[in-house]
Amino acid sequence: MPVNKCLNFKNFCFIIFGAAIYAFAFVYFYMANRIAANGLAGLTLVGKALLNIDPSLTGYLINMPLVMLGVKFFGKRAMVYTVTGILSLYFFVWLFQQFPLVVDLNHDNLVVSLMAGIIGGLGGGLVFRNGGTIGGADIIAKLLEDKFGLQLNQALLGIDIFVMIVSLTYISLPQMMYALIASFMYGQIVRLVQQGGYAARGTIIVSDCAEAISKFIMEELGRGITYLHGEGAYSGREKKVIYVALGRTDVRELKAFLEQIDPNAFVSYFDVDEINSPEFVVMKSKYHRKKKTK
């Protein structure tokens, strides 16, 4: 089946909308309250504080060469959404500066930093969810990963640390603590928006009661399961290994059932970032219907 490589108009709309939300937080919370931002956007705040250069101008000067570099290494199509995000962000940064607005939070730096992270994270999350970015830091990190084998998240963390250290040229150490709070909140909201409020747990179960456990999961929890064939390294015994993706409420019911039927079962729970399956989100699935028709 051919892969659809066409650009999506809806993605462009959400990227522009997300960039506008992030720019709102950037201008009215980060800039207005001298809170350092992470990523290359943070460098534009350094330029504003030390040299009084408009962040929208600095943003284009910093990011456009990186975009050209990205086109060379990653191709034009891969950079279209990135260019859209960057152009939109710094356009809205310029636009919002033309309309002075004071968000009165009683000069509470903690509340300001939390609001900056929440609103900025909402905008950034929308951009990332639809394939865009709001800065060239991702391009630098990807190049470091390709050329030097540095993991992408480590490269991004290194860039953020560098920007935060440079930001100490215009903010105090106590102010930096509020910037770290905003950065942490930003990361959490971005993750939440990217996953769409998604909450799932992957579960692996090794038990002598695999059939009974599978029946409970399918008929009572309404989830499909997959059997993996396992073998004990010491005992040499073959066993059915159950793999299933569960909602968080399902996990509680499964734990209670396992306590009754096989307290000695080996069970591993882990977070799942995303599941592509229509059956996972259907409540009371086909297994329930089968049970009722018996």
Render pLDDT for 98-134 as a digit per residue (tens, 0 to 9). Answer: 998 888 787 788 999 999 999 999 999 899 888 888 8
User: Helix, strand, coil % (nearest 5) of the chain?
Assistant: 65, 10, 30
Q: How far apart are CA 117 and CA 123, in angstroms?
A: 10
What is the structure's pLDDT at 126?
92
Q: How far apart are CA 183 and CA 203, in angstroms?
A: 32
Farthest CA pair distance, the chain: 76
Q: Who wins on pLDDT, 271 or 261?
A: 261
Q: With a cut of 50, say whether residue 243 has pLDDT above it.
A: yes
Q: With a cut of 50, say whether residue 282 has pLDDT above it.
A: no
Q: Is the pTM of this model over 0.95?
A: no
Sort residue 249 into left (φ over 0), alpha (ψ -120 to 50) or beta: alpha
Q: With a cut of 70, say whether residue 291 has pLDDT above it.
A: no
Alpha helices in 26-151 (DSSP H): 39-51, 55-74, 76-97, 109-129, 137-148
Grouping H, G, I as helix, E, B as strand and the rest as coil, residue 6 is coil
